Structure 1
Amino acid sequence: MTDQTNIAGAPEAASVQPDAGLFGRPLFEDPGARALARVGVVDVGSNSVRLVVFDGAARSPAYFYNEKIMCALGAGLSDSGRLNPEGRVRALAALRRFQHLAQGMGLPALTVVATAAVRDASDGPDFCEDVRRETGLRIWVIDGEEEARLSAQGVLLGWPGSYGLVCDIGGSSMELAEISGGRVGRRMTSSLGPLKLREIKGGKKARDTHIRETMEHMKSVMGDQRDRLFLVGGSWRAIARIDMYRRGYPLHVLHEYRMTARSVSATAKFIRKADLEELRGACNISSARMSLVPLAAEVLSRLVQSFRPKDIAISSYGIREGMLYEQMPQRLRDRDPLIEACRFAEAKDARMPGFGKSLYAFIHPLFKNVPEQRRRLVKAACLLHDVSWRAHPDYRAETCFDNATRANLGGLKHSERVFLGLALLHRYSNKREGTRFDYLYDLIDEKSQLEAEILGKAMRFGAMMWMAQDAERGTLRWFPKKRRLQLLLTNDMVPLFGEVSEARLVSLASSLNAEVEVRKVRQRST
């Protein structure tokens, strides 16, 4: 039963916009950011040549196109001093293809960088000239410290303001860079790439000595690095895949996957004892990459022993993302990559772009005392609450969960992916049991599962309250000590509060273990 109450003194969702600055004008509409749309970069590495085309207007860019060709340019370099002849032919063919693809996509230009193999080879300049003559592409050959800086900037793309040590391993080199407060500090390069390690004479004993001595020198230059260790590069990602396989880890998303010193040690031992061909098939790793994994595992074991990081995170962002970050205006760098990506998705796919901001303001009373890290997930969920509306109704809830847990979103731990996925699942479904994703729910504890359910049901109810932008909205009030959920209805809202809306409000109250009170309120006179 509804009561008549004066709204004076009560917060109005139309005027209260908590943390509204974060919901200010999205920068992907800014001309300086729009210039980053369809940015194409090519990384000519010692092991592979890769083209990535970013849909880069958002702070957390989408991968519009991504292709890698294993060329092994650096194979045999230590002995011959020259690029691998077969790899050189393959790399040139790859660059021809990439240039044609770029022209077909209407890209203004490709930015091409080459790293250790091309910079160390005596015929590196000749290779660059062949590429320029046949494709028109100019290759920028960067030194090891610049490679370290760009890789570190790639990490900052996904983890703005992070502290720690970035380690990027390629075929012929391994770079270290420290990051602190959003800036790149000390950095250095080494010859600890697995292609070069494979060519060391004297077998494993000589290789172990070389790795140990090189790592000791790097430790003396870089100093103590006890924060997070960010691992960049294909060999590290392959080791992470094997770690997931060994542990039976359920979410096969490499970005933000966490490892410990103990798990690194266990996985290195697991690799030493495994049948590499069987392991390669089980973990979906290419033959060329798998041949380097045992050597990379030796380096990683020594790296962790030397620097003793507090934790270890896999980064799918590296030098190519660092090249995009280099072109971003500072005002875009400073934005939260998760929120900006969600704003971009809402503008592109939601039925009513901009409603996420109103929805957040409406349900905010339920979450005003949660920590900021959780509050940003509430904001993200509100922005994403409607982007999967085109999915079939019978599968919409699962589609939302699948998108949130596997989408290319920066700034999200795996546990946060599952929380966000569950919240969006409950945006369309009261129950989460019986889906094909049940095995992932245990990545967060029962309390977080309930909080995600409450968020989803709050959005499910709030989404019933679509109104004109200038309409005066009602208010949710939450009294946790009394376990009372109060809805204040304005005259504009009363027609929207029908049977379905009421059922959704009751379902939300049930998850809160609360009683419901609904009141009509007089609107302010204009």
Structure 2
Amino acid sequence: MKTATTQRVAVIDLGSNTARLVVMEATPGYAYRLVDEIREVVRLRQGMTQDGLSDDAIDRAFSTLRMFTRFCTSTRTDVILATATSAVRDAANGRAFIDKVQQDLDLTLRILDGEEEAFYGVIGALNEVPLDGGAVLDIGGGSAQLSRIQSGRSEVGSSLTLGSLALTERFVSKDPVSAKQVKSLEQEISRQLHTIPWIDTVRDSDLVGLGGTIRNLAKIETMRQKSPLNTLHGFLLTRDSLDASIDSFIELPLAKRQRIDGLSPDRADIILAGALVVRGVFETLGVDQLTISTGGLREGLFLEHFWEHLDYPVIDDVRRFSVLNLARIYGYQKDHANHVRHLAGRLFDQLLPLHDQGAQDRELLDAAALLHDLGTIIAYDGHHKHSQTLIHYNGLAGFSRREICLIALLTRFHRKGSPDIEGYESVLNKRDGKTLTYLAAILRMAEFLERGRNACVNDVITKWDDD
């Protein structure tokens, strides 16, 4: 993907529980990809008093930031966007810590206030999950942000001291947690949520969730379901699955909780508090599910830089850009892919009386046509399978998990084989299998007509007998 304007952009997020460094390779406004990520548990809020951050927490955070800055220097990073959130902004010695980092590491840490933290989380989410109206929930270690979305933009956000680590340190002292402590947690969560003046305006609305706690809850459920996708993007976390997880968190001691499939061991001691926050939001809003966004604060900070030419850093057509972005970062053959897309579209439209698929299915066909040869970046042999794998691991922003599975399978069957949904039964049904068969036949025909990769077949006209 490298061009003359390609940059390496690093985002450092110093949170209350973890510090993360993500590095993006980006051509602003054109394409980007994640090329590196480092996560360190710093527990910055641990042991915090009215005097501020503890010496041990400061040492852990400073050591991690020093490692991050050295990594950025050694890998020739062009831009560093570094932020600190609730632990530093709440600490009496937070400013002194920021000054020390600036002086000793030559790193400028920007302290985000609660509204800014909510804003960047929303930007990261809306570039992954299109949401015209509703709410976005982000649970961190020290705080939780709930934002109201209207007309595809963040209208207002509230920051609450409902972080997983903060609540655990305040209310949990027994292992396993006692019923009394669970009740105290639930009461505090409800109390804080009802301080939001606009909370009733987002009742019964769509809810998007992000942050490490929510992703971990989703990961646990995908392991239960044996999901075929490697990305959590677009996963629906339901009240039933959440309740099942909460029951196990309450019942199991920490040592056994750490062995739950999908749960990060270093998050096992604080996951219950975060899960109770999610359930409290469900109950307060009167909803029974949320959609997972893999984009959050770090991605929001990066995307403000990436979309710097836009008035508001959310792309209008998330689905279209996500397909093009994936195609670009894996070096797709643009002319060939576009011509296959053109021929497939013509076949789809003319054969509509025979297959009766809808406009959304045509969009899936378009996406698969652009992405069908992605796997050649790995090897030509078996490239249809490699294309499927790349889509599995990368996901496609804006598309549902069902749609991602169908696009991946279409690329898998664009060459040969009998299309089937084996291994995808947790996401797809028999009707989807029929859709896959129709669309794969069209895509395969379009690919064969453009086999020479020279657009010698300009158009296609179909005829059939009614018999």
TM-score, normalised via structure 1 length: 0.77
CA contact (8 A) 2:319 2:398 kept: yes
Q: Secondary structure of the equivalent of 2:219?
A: helix
- 2 CA distance for matches of 1:250 and 1:386? 21
Structure 1: segments with no counterpart, 5+ residues: 1-27, 484-526
Structure-2 residue corresponding to 1:76 = 47
Residues 114, 454 of structure 1: CA spacing in aligned structure 2 closer, same or farther, 3 A cutoff? Answer: same
Among 129, 146, 159, the alignment partner of 2:129 is 159
Paired residue type of 1:473: N
Among 367, 372, 375, the alignment partner of 2:348 is 367
Residues 366, 468 of structure 1: CA spacing in aligned structure 2 closer, same or farther, 3 A cutoff? Answer: closer
Among 414, 418, 424, the alignment partner of 1:427 is 414
Q: Secondary structure of the equivalent of 2:118?
A: helix
Per-residue deviation, 1:222: 5.8
Structure-2 residue corresponding to 1:330 = 310
Q: 1:241 and 2:222 equivalent? A: no
Structure-1 residue corresponding to 2:324 = 343
Q: Deviations over 1:315-374 (max 9, x none)?
A: 111101111222213298435344334334444545732221111111113333644433
Per-residue deviation, 1:415: 0.8
| Structure of higher CA gyration radius | 1
CA contact (8 A) 2:31 2:329 kept: no
1:206-245, aligned counterparts within 5 Å? Answer: 206-218=184-196, 221=199, 223-245=201-223
- 2 CA distance for matches of 1:330 and 1:295? 38
Structure 2: segments with no counterpart, 5+ residues: 172-179
Per-residue deviation, 1:122: 0.9
Give the number of aligned pairs: 448
RMSD of equivalent CA atoms: 2.9
Q: Secondary structure of the equivalent of 1:39?
A: strand
- 2 CA distance for matches of 1:216 and 1:378? 45
- 2 CA distance for matches of 1:44 and 1:292? 18
Structure-2 residue corresponding to 1:142 = 112
Per-residue deviation, 1:463: 2.3
CA contact (8 A) 1:166 1:176 kept: yes
TM-score, normalised via structure 2 length: 0.86
- 1 CA distance for matches of 2:228 and 2:78? 41
Among 62, 77, 86, the alignment partner of 1:116 is 86
- 2 CA distance for matches of 1:182 and 1:444? 29
- 1 CA distance for matches of 2:263 and 2:243? 20
1:41-60, aligned counterparts within 5 Å? Answer: 41-57=11-27
Structure-1 residue corresponding to 2:396 = 409
Structure-2 residue corresponding to 1:462 = 446
Residues 180, 478 of structure 1: CA spacing in aligned structure 2 closer, same or farther, 3 A cutoff? Answer: farther
Overall identity of the aligned pairs, in %? 23
Residues 216, 468 of structure 1: CA spacing in aligned structure 2 closer, same or farther, 3 A cutoff? Answer: closer
Paired residue type of 1:315: S
- 1 CA distance for matches of 2:153 and 2:400? 21
- 2 CA distance for matches of 1:468 and 1:239? 45
- 2 CA distance for matches of 1:411 and 1:351? 20
Per-residue deviation, 1:249: 4.4
Structure-1 residue corresponding to 2:176 = none
Residues 56, 157 of structure 1: CA spacing in aligned structure 2 closer, same or farther, 3 A cutoff? Answer: farther
CA contact (8 A) 2:123 2:314 kept: no
Among 429, 433, 437, the alignment partner of 1:445 is 429
Residues 330, 88 of structure 1: CA spacing in aligned structure 2 closer, same or farther, 3 A cutoff? Answer: same
Q: Deviations over 1:19-40 (max 9, x none)?
A: xxxxxxxxx9999xx56x4221
Per-residue deviation, 1:187: 0.8
Q: Secondary structure of the equivalent of 1:427?
A: coil
CA contact (8 A) 1:400 1:425 kept: yes
1:180-329, aligned counterparts within 5 Å? Answer: 180-200=150-170, 203-218=181-196, 221=199, 223-309=201-287, 311-327=289-305, 328=307, 329=309
